Structure 1
Amino acid sequence: MAAPGSVSAAFQEYLRHLGLQDFPCGLGSWNKSCLNAEPAGLEETVPPGEETPEVLLELLRDQHSPWALPHDCSPQDRLLREVAVLAPELLHSSRVFQVVKSLRILDKGVEEVDEGVLRFQQLEELILSANRISKVTSAHLPRALKVLELCCNAVHDLQDLCARPPPELQHLGLGYNRLCGPSQEKHFTVDFWPNLISLDLSFNSLTDLLGLVSQLSTLQNLRILVLQGNPLALIPSYRGFLVDSLPKLSILDDIHIWPDERQQFHGLARQPELIRNEGRVVVSIGEMKGLPDPKAFQQLKVGSEGPMITYSYHVTYEFAEREELEDRGSPEVTQIHQSPTVATLDVDSSAQDTGEAKSHQESAVTEEPKAHSAKVFATPGQPWADTIDFSYRKEHVAKDLVGLMSYLEAGTIVSVVEEKVLSWPVDADAEENTATNKKEGQELKKDSAKGPQPSDKQKKKKQPCEFRSDPPIRSILGTRRVTLKTLLATENMVATVCEFGILIPQKPPEPPVVEEKVRSEVKKGTDKSKTPKAVKGAQASRKTATSPKGKGKNKDTAEVAEGQELQPVLLTVQFQMQLLRWPLAASTQSQENVAMAVGKAQ
């Protein structure tokens, strides 16, 4: 009895699934005489109730037959079912293992390559993708094996596999596993794989490019190599160094190597000092459109004693925390609080995006999938406009390649942030009166001694109005996740237009600062019999804004504030991230072309 979770147990289940004992396969009343068939050339009448092998095979091969296999089944499936018709006695002995040359067991929860696999003495292809295998013992693999595919498993150590590997193996697939360098890179030499032609190590955690290339250079028959998705593939000179270091390689990361590419990178293998374990990423943010004008909904009127409100906008994005910052960077935004002055309606975002926006208000987003910490970078603030062109570009140098890979797998968070600053006019009358009373006696003595002086109207000049500003109020208008996984494969650029939905600003409540200002003046001992200018201005402003006839100089402003209607416009931001490859100059020259492509996409 095969152990649960083994290849042998999965094979037995596989045979039961094929129905090799059921009509029209196997032994039964439909083909009892097949075991006692007469020699060829002698014709006998088929007993009643039985079918000839030809008829039974037709039932298996005809695509309209209810017993036909699906069109996407493997050749091995068809072979076994036909054998069950022509020689059903093989199913009752170990001879069935001699027939199998290709065994595919996909996504069956296999955890162990057990010793029972050795019964497949003629096995040349073993496909065990999408299972739970953590290690493979080479002693359990048939010696005739030529293809071993272990993609999407949990293999983290190759020591047991390399103890006595099949000598004729031509393809080894270890993509999407847990191999970490540099301890595992030593196993890819000619001593273990003398006939290896194709090697897939994609999407692991290999980091030592120089060490891996030194081992792979011993594989004289290697023609196909897949390394994309590893941290070492993020190095700018990664492809050029491999192309020049492995002259017999024909295909790298599913891209054919042409002679002109070899000529371009000729000599790079002799300059290992150019290989730096760092990744270079350029983030660009272009135009933002669809932002409603906040001043059109502002209740406070020109000439009132209320605050002057200024708005600015910037776009934030996350980047891997462990990176070498450059002077061209922009300030970080670490605390952004949601403001009730803006309501978001009809936002095109998933449930995951909604959760992201909530957590982003307090700190960097930490939800899964995310095995990295990130910093938030922001573009310089820009005033409102129908189209805001940030023209932002920043180059990040990431020293931690593993962290950069985790960051690209998780994607980045792009947000639009509104910054509002309230500036209040400073009432200098009370301060001037206090200073005048203190110096009045001294100034009168000096003036009498000097003779006639200019009148007060001539002496007093109009001073510019001074303002004091409150701390800025930041609020997130929209948040989107940008997928960056394509940068781990063969793509060098992600250029997208982020959509944040339709934003409709609400009318902000009238601040009660005027009343507070009156109370503060009363406490300071100001003249209670006189109505302060702030109160008069505020009262006049309120009368003008609430008057049914709209009388006063702020009539037009009041009508705009109360009756303004906004046409729905989608808020969008152009976002671009480029992973710099070798040569760096050629990569940076494509910025303008990509910007044009983004504009067309919008």
Structure 2
Amino acid sequence: MAAPGSVSAAFQEYLQHLGLQDFPCGFGSWNKSRCLDARRSPWAEPAGLEEAVPPGEETPEALLELLRDQHSPWALPPDCSPQERLLREVAALAPELLHGSRVFQAVKSLRILDKGVEEVDEGLLRFQQLEELILSANHISRVTSAHLPRTLKVLELCCNAVDDLQDLCARPPPELQHLGLGYNRLCGPSQEKHLTVDFWPNLVSLDLSFNNLTDLLELVSQLSTLQNLHILLLQGNPLALIPTYRGFLVDSLPKLSILDDIHIWPEEREQFHGLARQPELIRSEARVVVSIGEMKGLPNPEAFQQLEVGSEGPVITYSYCVTYEFAEGEQLEDRGSPEATKIHQSPTVTMLDVDSSAQDTGGTTSHQEPAATEEPTARSAKVFATPGQPWADTIDCSYRKEHVAKDLVGLKSYLEAGTIVSVVEEKVLSWPVDADTQENTVPNKKEGQELKKNGAKNKPVLVPKNKQKKKKKQQQLELRSDPPIRSTLGTTRVTLETLLATEDLVAAVCDFGILIPEKPPELPVVEEKEVKKGKDKSKNAKAEKGSLASRKTAATPAPKVKNKDTTEVEEGRELQLVPLTVQFQMQLLRWPLSTQSHGSREDSVMCPQQK
């Protein structure tokens, strides 16, 4: 009996799923007469069989109709493989050919996907005609080459847990033409030595995508020995983030036809000609540019709070910025920022390394949430922010910052998890400075006049009351500010996984959508027809109206902004959804840097089909 979790056990379940011994397949009274003639070819149409069919036995046409009709309960799903259809038709017409161990001789392609397989056992050796073995989306960590049939030409192990190639390369199938190891856990530099012509002399296609390979120079030196290699997939590896990655591979492997699912055209080879002889350009680092454009939809704070300067309340100023997270650690190089916690205000770029001009809230770190799968793991991230700007209907952030990432594995995990983009509001309360605390001179209280001596005539001089009020008003205009109050208006996650594939630019319009309380209803105002004619009464009416307006303004609180998932209603006031959008871009710079550092994808290397 096959061990649980092995390929043999999964194959037995596969046979039960096909139902090769059940009606209308296999041995039974429905085709007993045909099973007696083992010499009959299962693919030949029997002639004159209707007369020889005993009563109660199904005809071959009826059995095949039950297998092929989409409305039949025995029909296979439309996405089944051609081999599955062939096996069932053979089992219906000549079940003796698939009886017992003979079924292993008839299988040339075996596809066992997402069945929890953990072991490639020696039971596979019974498949003496097997040419294609697909074991994707399982839990295989080791593959022993001694358990693989020597007739294999295709071996697909995508989406498993393979982290070492030593056992696979001990005695690999000599005729193997395709090896698929994408989405596994291979990491360098010990694995590159197993990817040479000594182990895979006939390899035409190799998939190593989305592993953790980092040594581009060593990998290329080993792959260059595979003289028949025409298709190569390396996207998703940390080494694919290096700016010169594609150009170096194209120039180093002249027989390569397709790299990362993109055809290599002669024009591209000509552009990258000679790059293979310049290994000094292959630096183990990546360059990422973050750009933030317009911010639209911010609620106007003046619509909720309109306090005047004076002792009645503080002067409130607002500023807004956009923050985003970038991978923290040794991979983040910031030569232009000697102080990690210093906030930089200039939005222009002055150097190729991490831009010292961007606002860097380096003292704040956060942790990214892990993805749904085991990888990527949670990694800490550093928060960067655009310079704060006052409110406007449209705020042009004009932000551009270039990051140099040296930890390519950490950068890959960061791109898999995505970045967090937020809109932050900063509120500053400024209070009038008390005049008594600024000067020891106390104004005279006698009818608002102050006694002052004249130095020339030595006579007391009366200071008019209006000048005294003017001086007092100037003292009140001197304000003291409280520490800023920061609040997050909206947060969203931007997906960056496409930067690990063939894309080099992610452009997104982040739509936060925030909830703010609706404006309170207008207070009743005395109608004009109720006011009698006359200057004095007209003035009284205006005074009363102004008093009501001032009371309404004083009663209006500052807005409490909430995320769009909030359904709370405050003080009987309903919340309204306000769209808030931010233009966000992240670009992975490719070689040549001079043509792509300006954000123009048209200047990059593209094949004619892409253009």
Q: Is this a same-fold pair by TM over 0.5?
A: yes
What is the distance in 2 between the residues matched to 1:193 and 1:288? Answer: 55
Q: Identify if the C-alpha distance between structure 1 residues 144 and 386 changes in structure 2 by more than 3 Å, giving closer, same or farther.
A: same
1:551 aligns with 2:546: yes
Q: Tell me by how many angstroms 1:214 deviates.
A: 0.6
1:188 aligns with 2:207: no
Q: Distance in 2 between matches of 1:117 and 1:170?
A: 19
Residue in 1 that maps onto 2:533: none
Classify the secondary structure of the residue corresponding to 1:15: helix
Deviations 1:376-429, CA, capped at 9 Å, x for gaps: 000000000011111001001111101100000001111111101111111223
Please give the alpha-carbon distance, in whole angstroms, between the structure 2 residues aligned to 1:263 and 1:561: 69
Q: How far does residue 503 in structure 1 lie from its aligned partner after superposition? A: 3.8
- Residue of structure 2 in register with 1:400 after alignment: 407
C-alpha separation in 2, matches of 1:116 and 1:79: 23
Which residue of 95, 106, 111 maps to 2:113?
Answer: 106
Tell me if the contact between 2:117 and 2:138 (Cα under 8 Å) persists in the aligned partners: yes
The match for 1:294 among 301, 312, 333 is 301
Paired with 1:292 and 1:182, the residues of 2 have a C-alpha distance of: 54
Residue in structure 1 matching 2:277, options 265, 270, 276: 270
Asked if the contact 1:503/1:571 (under 8 Å) is kept, the reply is: no
Residue matched to 2:367: 365
For residues 430-480 of structure 1, what are the alpha-carbon distances to aligned partners after superposition, in whole Å with 9 as ceiling and x for unaligned? 54235999xxxxxx99x8987648957599995563211111111111111
Deviations along 1:235-290, one digit per CA (max 9) or x if unpaired, are: 11111111111111000000111111111111111111111111111111111111
| C-alpha displacement of 1:83 | 1.9
- Whether 1:80 and 2:87 are equivalent positions in the alignment is yes
The whole-number CA distance in structure 1 between the counterparts of 2:553 and 2:378 is 52
Structure 2 residue aligned with 1:176: 183
Cα distance in 2 for residues equivalent to 1:305 and 1:559:
9
Q: 1:285 aligns with which of 275, 292, 296?
A: 292
2:487 matched to 1:485?
A: no
Distance 2:25 2:148 in 1: 30
- Separation (CA, whole Å) in 1 of partners of 2:490 and 2:115: 43
Q: Is the 8 A contact 1:301 1:557 kept in 2?
A: no
| Distance in 1 separating the partners of 2:97 and 2:390 | 81
- Shift of the 568–92 alpha-carbon distance from structure 1 to 2, 3 Å rule, reads closer
Kindly state the Cα deviation for residue 331 of structure 1 after the two structures are TM-superposed.
Answer: 3.4
Aligned to 2:346: none
- The alignment partner of 1:34 has SS state of helix
Superposed displacement of residue 568, structure 1: 5.3
- Between 566-575 and 16-25, report the one with greater CA deviation: 566-575
Check whether the contact 1:425–1:467 (CA below 8 A) recurs between aligned residues.
yes
CA contact (8 A) 2:38 2:94 kept: no
Q: Deviations over 1:268-314 (max 9, x none)?
A: 11111111111111111111111111122115224444221111010
CA contact (8 A) 1:299 1:507 kept: no
CA distance in 2, matches of 1:96, 1:39: 17
Identify which range, 471-480 or 33-42, moves more after superposition: 33-42
Greater shift, 136-145 or 53-62, is seen at: 53-62
Aligned length: 523
**Counterpart in 1 of 2:359?**
331
Aligned residue number for residue 597 of structure 2: 588
Superposition map of 1:16-415 within 5 A: 16-37=16-37, 45-322=52-329, 323-327=332-336, 328-329=355-356, 330-333=358-361, 364-369=366-371, 370-415=377-422
Q: Which residue of 2 aligns with 1:348?
A: none
Partner AA of 1:486 in structure 2: T
Asked if 1 retains the 8 angstrom alpha-carbon contact of 2:307 and 2:554, the reply is: no
Name the residue aligned to 2:527.
Answer: none
Counterpart of 1:8 in structure 2 is: 8
Contact in 1 for aligned 2:429/2:482 (Cα 8 Å):
yes
* CA spacing shift, 1:303–1:168, aligned 2, 3 Å: same
TM-score between the two structures when normalised by the length of structure 2: 0.79
Instruction: Give the letter for the 2:34 counterpart.
Output: C
Identify if the C-alpha distance between structure 1 residues 401 and 321 changes in structure 2 by more than 3 Å, giving closer, same or farther.
Answer: same
1:39 and 1:141 map into 2 onto residues whose CA distance is: 32
Is residue 314–residue 379 contact of structure 1 (8 Å, CA) maintained in 2? yes
Where relative contact order (Cα < 8 A, 6+ residues apart) is larger, the structure is 1
Larger displacement relative to structure 2 (169-178 or 465-474): 465-474
TM-score of the superposed pair, with normalisation by structure 1: 0.80
Structure with a larger share of its residues in helix: 1
- Maintained 8 Å contact 1:305/1:425: no
Aligned to 1:347: none
Contact 2:295-2:582 at 8 Å conserved across structures:
yes
For 1:200 and 1:471, the matched residues in 2 are separated by: 56
**3-state SS of 1:364 partner:** strand
Whole-angstrom CA distance in 1 between matches of 2:556 and 2:591? 55
In structure 1, what residue type is equivalent to 2:82? Answer: P
